[in-house]
A and B are shown apart, each in its own frame.
Chain A
Amino acid sequence: MSETLHIDWTRCDGRGLCTELLPTLLDRDDWGYPLAKRATNGDRSNVAVRPAHSEAAREAVYLCPKMALSLANQVAGFGQ
């Protein structure tokens, strides 16, 4: 099962640590916030993480100063 990196936008302050650790997955937007290079069904809050980047993603989760990141095995999305 592939993992997804969830970005909690209500916490993220765009400090850019995650974009440095996961340059293949994330860009920075105009204001510094992480910008998923690839969207899954238009959703760019849950970023697919391939096993090769799993370690870096874990580090990003740990180091994010705002604790805005989490790794999950599936996407929750907007099911309400």
Chain B
Amino acid sequence: MTPVTAEMPKVVDRQGPSGTHRLFAAGNDAGLAEHVQTFGALPLHGVDARLIDVVEASGLTGRGGAAFASWRKIAATVDARSGAPLERKPVVIANGAEGEPLSFKDKALLAHAPHLVIDGLLTAARAVSGGQLFIYATDAGLPAVERALAQRHDSRSIRLVAAPETFISGEASAVVNGIANGPALPTDHRRRLSESGFKGRPTLVLNVETLAHMALIARYGSAWFRTEGSDRDPGTRLVSVSGPAGDRLLEVAGDAGLGDVLSSADIDTSSIQAVLVGGYHGRWVRPMGYRLSPTGPASHTVRPGAGVVHALPDSVCGLETTAQIVGYLANESAKQCGPCMYGLPAMARVLNSLAYGGRDPQLVRELGRLSRMVTGRGACHHPDGAAQLVGSALEAFSAEVAAHLAGTCTKRMGRRS
């Protein structure tokens, strides 16, 4: 389906890292010297709009959650340029605002491989003939990037902007709004950011991991990128695994098996009752034969979102856990859009009731009704994500739902009676 022939003229005369250990190949706290030694210098002068074809051939998708084809975003930004002599150059933003509480891969990437992210940002900027460049990250991620920028001379056009620690601050329009105007709240999506984003300019917002992959693709080409992963999900991705055994950051091949990911993180799958994949906007699945891929049938694949895998031990009630998450999401609503501002708290209340002792079978129907009601009705996908989470919980924990309605939940943690 995708052409695999397009390549940039090879400037880097070396092989890319083999195996799935790619983004952190330069080691922990990699400085510029280790970075260049491991990956070679960035062949920036050879990069232009042809990069779009290379990225298309690589099959790279966004690693921030939506898994949108990266080349399409870049191409849309290029297309939005008017070509007028005085036109304002596109703005490119590296998005490291990792609002998802279960995700820590972007923070780790900024801390240990900041030069790869900077390379990626400069590469993307060349491809779209970008002007202003930003790296947007929470306070935890900024110091390492600052140090990295101080080590190099090709990155003076990059400005660092601190992102607030809110769930929604990483949504693309919230990123642009936050950098341009202050409040990191999503804005109405009547016009695409690629047409009119930061101060009305064409704006390209890419996740920091996406950019890091792009920095490697610019060096080693699309064929190298596809040596890991599958046709429908090429390359590698970072995965933040959390669970009873603590947090583990992995880099896994695309289309990886969920069971393999869990065992790579030393999680005993026999003690796990369900896995939350994709984070708080994600989907609960029972650890069966699922594979992590942005595309594929829902019966066998689960979308990795921003690469979040959270294992729920046997001893914990999945409905209680979900109720807490939905309560959190309701609180994190930016309270701009009616259906989100009123619908999510309503969902949280009903789910709470179901999780903590309510026995009215209408509760389940009401949850379904509210989920359908909020879906597709917000300036951002926050309500859709919450509805998807709730829907998947009702499905994955259907036995528990029945037990709760019968008053026989065995896993109640005793937080409330």
Q: Is A in direct contact with B (CB under 8 Å) within the complex?
A: yes
B376→A13 contact, CB < 8 A: no
A10 (CB) vs chain B CBs: closest residue: B336
B104 shortest CB reach to chain A, Å = 23
Q: Is the interface of B mostly helix, strand, loop or mixed?
A: loop
Give the docked Cα–Cα distance between A31 and B381 (Å).
19
Residues of B contacting A30 in the complex (Cβ-Cβ under 8 angstroms): 342-343, 346, 373
A80→B377 contact, CB < 8 A: no
> Known contacts A29-B339, A33-B339: does B192 contact A9 (CB below 8 Å)?
no
Q: List 10 A-B contacts (CB under 8 A).
A: A9-B336, A9-B378, A13-B338, A29-B339, A30-B343, A39-B376, A77-B189, A78-B381, A80-B68, A80-B173
> Known contacts A8-B379, A9-B379: does B339 contact A80 (CB below 8 Å)?
no
Residues in A4-36 with C-beta less than 8 Å from chain B: 6-14, 29-33, 35-36
Is residue A44 contacting chain B, with contact meaning CB distance below 8 A?
yes
A76→B192 contact, CB < 8 A: yes
Residues in B336-384 with C-beta less than 8 Å from chain A: 336-340, 342-343, 346, 373, 375-379, 381, 384
Give the interface size class of chain B: 20 to 34
B338→A80 contact, CB < 8 A: no
> Known contacts A9-B338, A9-B339, A12-B338: does B384 contact A42 (CB below 8 Å)?
yes
Q: A-B pairs with CB below 8 Å: how many?
A: 79
Residues of A contacting B342 in the complex (Cβ-Cβ under 8 angstroms): 30-31
Give the docked Cα–Cα distance between A72 and B190 (Å).
9
Interface string of B15-37 (1 = CB under 8 A from A): 00000000000000000000000
- From B194, B338, B340, B384, residue with most partner A Cβ within 10 Å: B338
New contact pairs (16) apart from A10-B379, A30-B346, A79-B76, CB-CB < 8 Å: A9-B188, A9-B338, A9-B379, A10-B188, A29-B338, A29-B339, A29-B343, A31-B338, A32-B338, A33-B338, A35-B377, A43-B376, A45-B377, A79-B192, A80-B68, A80-B172
Residues of B contacting A14 in the complex (Cβ-Cβ under 8 angstroms): 338
A78 (CB) vs chain B CBs: closest residue: B189
Give the docked Cα–Cα distance between A10 and B73 (Å).
25
Is residue B392 contacting chain A, with contact meaning CB distance below 8 A?
no
A76 (CB) vs chain B CBs: closest residue: B190
B281 shortest CB reach to chain A, Å = 13
- From B187, B189, B340, residue with most partner A Cβ within 10 Å: B189
Is residue A70 contacting chain B, with contact meaning CB distance below 8 A?
yes
A68 shortest CB reach to chain B, Å = 9
> Known contacts A9-B338, A76-B192, A80-B194: does B187 contact A33 (CB below 8 Å)?
no
Is residue B205 contacting chain A, with contact meaning CB distance below 8 A?
yes
A80→B73 contact, CB < 8 A: yes
Partner of B377, one of A6, A9, A32, A72: A9
> Known contacts A80-B66, A80-B194: does B375 contact A42 (CB below 8 Å)?
yes
Residues of A contacting B186 in the complex (Cβ-Cβ under 8 angstroms): 10
